[in-house]
A and B are shown apart, each in its own frame.
Chain A
């Protein structure tokens, strides 16, 4: 579906300086996969997505989307893509149904086809009751669902989602995930960016972590955790500010420690054992927690940022 070699994107900003948003990445996304870009803000995720969506020409490197070169066949590729942008760009003055209809028309379909497709997608997005409402009256979650429904008017082979659930409440996110799962089961190839680790873990078969315009790790969520973090994490909570006092002892017990405002994270193979040792060395936290490593721990490790920044 997507094949990239040495993909780069640079552009000049107003001050005349050149920004290197994407600095040579390789990608291979096979059909049917749910593929995720993870990374902090400014890592180059959205730039990469815009290049894949044929909305932004690459600066250098090789790129094939659906076997075609975006520089030559942008129109044919966009005809087969579904795009969910980071910021909704629905027409708020048109009705929900009209938004879907018009978008179908953009792809060249007949009127009858577009109305029928609109009704089908309203059903899919659970918006049938809102069919005649103007978009401006919808909640954030409904708008997002409508944007996703809109991206499906052409039955795309490849669906690109840029931060699909940012800014939504937990219920709305779960409804959206449910819809995306269904698409995945239907065999639609999904490519998404997110900075929610739970979203990445839920939806993605495979992920890349981007930082500073490059790919710093790649693999399934489980593999990323096993490669870039320990099996367990021991969390020690302290009075905010006093957590640093215990840091030297923690570093004697385990190789990696993250310092958060009110706690220390100790990366270990056996959390209970480490806790016993910590107690033995006189560490007296307010409370403790032993948990499994998550993608969040991988993320903290790879992008080199502690949560305090």
Chain B
């Protein structure tokens, strides 16, 4: 009895959900608490200083409205990085459970698909929670603000697939590589991608770097849905960047899973 490829992908997804289950409530608590703290400290606390200085650079909106959409996207990115680094690497190297999985009819590429599905599910849940908190504080924009959820999903997933490929490729010590990744890629990306201030505040010499940051594209899109004021062409550009990044990373991740598990 051989099942369909779709079934095998879902069975991998089912396993990942089951192993996440013990952590469900702790991640939920985190997903609700983090936005409250960020909004209070940065949005309202520091925002009161920013607003006093004039908000033209922010497009004329209060600071808390400016950062809220980007906080949601940046949080999604954190979740995606967490799931695609240590958690995934462990299945290759420490617990080796993926070797058990691919001794069954499930292929490495299908196992990769299951991971993408799972991370997508995780992102959907945590972004929705984040959205609820933003809405409670009245900083989630109008009805079109709901689109922040799929945008955060797209942005975070387009990064996660590349990190999945990395996790599948590291032979020895994942911890070193991931610490480098988090310190020298994810953190700078979070700080300089118009999350906390618009990139118009950056000198031209470094401003172009943001154009290569998937988070900047995600932030701009999320802000466009919540606050408006971005041209249609810019939206198409941001979406194209993220879709191309995600699709190419997905192909890469599937290949890397196969190369790792079929030797």
Q: Mark A65-92, 1 if CB is under 8 A from B, else 0.
A: 0000000001110110101010101111
Q: How many Å lie between the Cα of A266 and that of B217 in the bound state?
A: 79
Contacting pair A105 B2 (CB below 8 A)? no
Q: How many Å lie between the Cα of A105 and that of B101 in the bound state?
A: 10
Q: How many Å lie between the Cα of A78 and that of B99 in the bound state?
A: 13
Contacting pair A103 B102 (CB below 8 A)? no
Contacting pair A90 B261 (CB below 8 A)? no
Q: With an 8 A cutoff between CB atoms, is A126 at the interface?
A: no
In chain A, what residue has the closest Cβ to B22?
Answer: A93
Q: With an 8 A cutoff between CB atoms, is B207 at the interface?
A: no
Pairs across A and B, CB under 8 Å, 16 listed: A11-B263, A55-B261, A55-B262, A56-B263, A75-B2, A76-B2, A78-B104, A83-B103, A85-B99, A91-B97, A93-B22, A94-B18, A107-B105, A108-B7, A108-B8, A108-B105
**Interfacial chain A residues near B15, Cβ < 8 Å:** 91, 102, 105-106
**Interfacial chain A residues near B98, Cβ < 8 Å:** 89
Q: How many Å lie between the Cα of A108 and that of B3 in the bound state?
A: 6
**Interfacial chain A residues near B104, Cβ < 8 Å:** 78-79, 103, 106-107, 154
**Interfacial chain B residues near A106, Cβ < 8 Å:** 8, 11-12, 15, 101, 104-106
Q: With an 8 A cutoff between CB atoms, is B95 at the interface?
A: yes
Q: Which residues of A contact B (CB under 8 A)?
A: 11, 50, 53, 55-57, 74-76, 78-79, 81, 83, 85, 87, 89-94, 98, 102-103, 105-108, 150, 154
Give me 20 other A-B pairs in contact (C-beta within 8 A), A53-B103, A98-B18, A105-B11 excluded: A56-B263, A75-B107, A76-B105, A79-B1, A79-B105, A85-B103, A89-B97, A89-B100, A91-B15, A91-B97, A94-B18, A94-B19, A102-B14, A103-B100, A106-B12, A106-B101, A106-B104, A106-B106, A108-B1, A150-B100
Summed over the interface, the residue pairs from A and B with CB atoms below 8 Å come to a total of 79
**Interfacial chain A residues near B1, Cβ < 8 Å:** 79, 107-108
How many residues of B sit at the interface, in one of the four size bands? 20 to 34
In chain A, what residue has the closest Cβ to B101?
Answer: A106
Query: Closest approach, in angstroms, between the C-beta of B17 and any C-beta of chain A?
Result: 11
Contacting pair B19 A78 (CB below 8 A)? no
Q: How many Å lie between the Cα of A227 and that of B199 in the bound state?
A: 82
Q: How many Å lie between the Cα of A57 and that of B2 in the bound state?
A: 21
In chain A, what residue has the closest Cβ to B106?
Answer: A106
In chain B, what residue has the closest Cβ to A81?
Answer: B103
